[in-house]
Structure 1
Amino acid sequence: MVNGIIGSDGVAVFEAIVCTLLAQQVSVRLSCRELAFLGAVGTTVSARAIRNLPHRKVVLEGANETVRSAWELSGFATPDSPVVMTP
């Protein structure tokens, strides 16, 4: 479960966790129901972590409208993106 705000303060820990999970599994599901905000730095780190480990997928479940909008506005919500947001 991911909760709170992922901004510049917590981004290093978030990146380490995502990279560790992706190194162990092809697909990772993260519950984002308690995630209030994913800042630009968080979106960039998410995308970078996945690009560094090809053929991996991250599913962000239950992200609120703010998180989904930030992801889309950052340009990462593309059909070929290995990060998928689900309701």
Structure 2
Amino acid sequence: MTVFIVLDRSAIAPAAAAASGASDPDKDSIMNTQHVSFAMGPDGRMEMKVARYLDTFPFKYYVVLRDIHGLPAVLAETLRQYYSLVG
């Protein structure tokens, strides 16, 4: 099993965010990112569909990590959940 760990953009330290010009850290969060696709509609016209990026994320198992200092706890909890499913 592979678990993909996503370090969220809003996890940047406030000083670093201010230096990069980010006014609202949640604005750049992966939780708010949207994916746009175009598909042929029933009437033959192209239709635009907007979906949350994480709804179409290519990995089945992933963890969104907002605070890098919480990485050890997140890894420990992920392993605990894995072994409870397997064993």
TM-score normalised to the size of structure 2?
A: 0.28
Larger radius of gyration: 2
Which has more helix, going by share of residues?
2
